[in-house]
């Protein structure tokens, strides 16, 4: 009989621990705005642009550009993985018209809404501030050869920046595409300028 209080205490403690774990998982961790694996995206670009391999470093290619349209151009990467990244064209905007040998800090892709995540493998808590994820032309791999304005630590082939920095970097990229008159630059500039204009209605 004397064991009943002990068993009841253990059962109660176990129930409390389960409730705490459940609450932390569903109430404290933020599962919204989870990015895709950026290393996978990097490899997909390489497979599409260099299907036969070769001297990739000395043979720069243009990134996919289907009429300058973000969704259609990015869909070529999605198709390379057999549609595995079905959310890719929904969660990211892609700046067509760039080449592999363009300035490394230009914005190739960006997550199209603010998020607390740095990368897809570590869920943040609801107490972390939101930021903007950008994937630069060099996929963040040249951090030792150029200044990075974004937060690279803990990220994956990407940078995490404030909304003001995001606007600045994206505008610089669009100016570059327009100045160099890249194919379909009018469509590229119009599409992403419209997105920037909408940021006043997006939570920071």
User: Are 53 and 140 in a shared domain?
Assistant: yes
**Count: domains in the chain:** 2
Crossing angle between the packed helical segments 38-49 and 70-80, to the nearest 10 degrees: 90
Residues 6+ apart with CB under 8 A from 135: 38, 41, 92, 107, 108, 109, 110, 157, 158, 159
User: Are 78 and 178 in a shared domain?
Assistant: yes
Picking from 201, 199, 34, 189, the residue whose alpha carbon sits closest to that of residue 107 is: 189
Which has the higher per-residue pLDDT, 34 or 16? 34
User: Are 22 and 35 in a shared domain?
Assistant: no
Which has the higher per-residue pLDDT, 18 or 116? 116
User: Are 97 and 1 in a shared domain?
Assistant: no
Cβ count within 10 A of residue 155: 19
Inform me whether the pLDDT recorded for 24 exceeds 80. Answer: no
pTM for the complete prediction? Answer: 0.84
User: Are 65 and 107 in a shared domain?
Assistant: yes
Query: By percentage, how much of the chain surpasses pLDDT 70?
Result: 82
Q: Which tokens sit at 93?
A: 């905007």
User: Are 26 and 78 in a shared domain?
Assistant: no
Domain extent at residue 19:
1-30
Residues 6+ apart with CB under 8 A from 61: 49, 50, 99, 100
User: Are 146 and 169 in a shared domain?
Assistant: yes
Residues 6+ apart with CB under 8 A from 123: 29, 30, 31, 34, 117
User: Are 75 and 38 in a shared domain?
Assistant: yes
Confidence of residue 145 (pLDDT cuts 50, 70, 90): very low
Crossing angle between the packed helical segments 185-197 and 163-179, to the nearest 10 degrees: 160
Which has the higher per-residue pLDDT, 79 or 185? 185
Please name every residue paired with 62 in a beta bridge, in sequence order, or none if there are none: 99
User: Are 21 and 77 in a shared domain?
Assistant: no
> Which of 12-16, 119-123, 124-128 has the weakest average pLDDT?
12-16
Residues 6+ apart with CB under 8 A from 28: 125, 126
């Amino acid at each position: 009989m004397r064991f009943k209080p002990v068993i009841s205490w253990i059962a109660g403690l176990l129930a409390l621990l389960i409730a705490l774990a459940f609450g932390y998982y569903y109430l404290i961790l933020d599962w919204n705005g989870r990015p895709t694996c950026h290393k996978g995206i990097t490899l997909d670009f390489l497979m599409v642009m260099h299907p036969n391999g070769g001297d990739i470093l000395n043979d720069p290619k243009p990134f996919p550009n289907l009429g300058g349209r973000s969704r259609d151009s990015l869909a070529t990467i999605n198709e390379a993985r057999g549609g595995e990244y079905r959310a890719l064209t929904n969660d990211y905007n892609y700046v067509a018209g760039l080449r592999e040998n363009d300035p490394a800090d230009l914005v190739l892709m960006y997550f199209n809404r603010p998020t607390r995540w740095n990368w897809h493998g570590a869920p943040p808590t609801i107490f972390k501030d939101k930021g903007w994820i950008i994937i630069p032309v060099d996929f963040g791999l040249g951090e030792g050869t150029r200044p990075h304005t974004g937060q690279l630590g803990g990220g994956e082939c990407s940078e995490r920046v404030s909304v003001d920095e995001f606007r600045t970097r994206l505008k610089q990229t669009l100016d570059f595409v327009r100045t160099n008159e890249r194919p379909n630059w009018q469509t590229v500039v119009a599409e992403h300028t419209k997105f920037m204009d909408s940021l006043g209605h997006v939570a920071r």
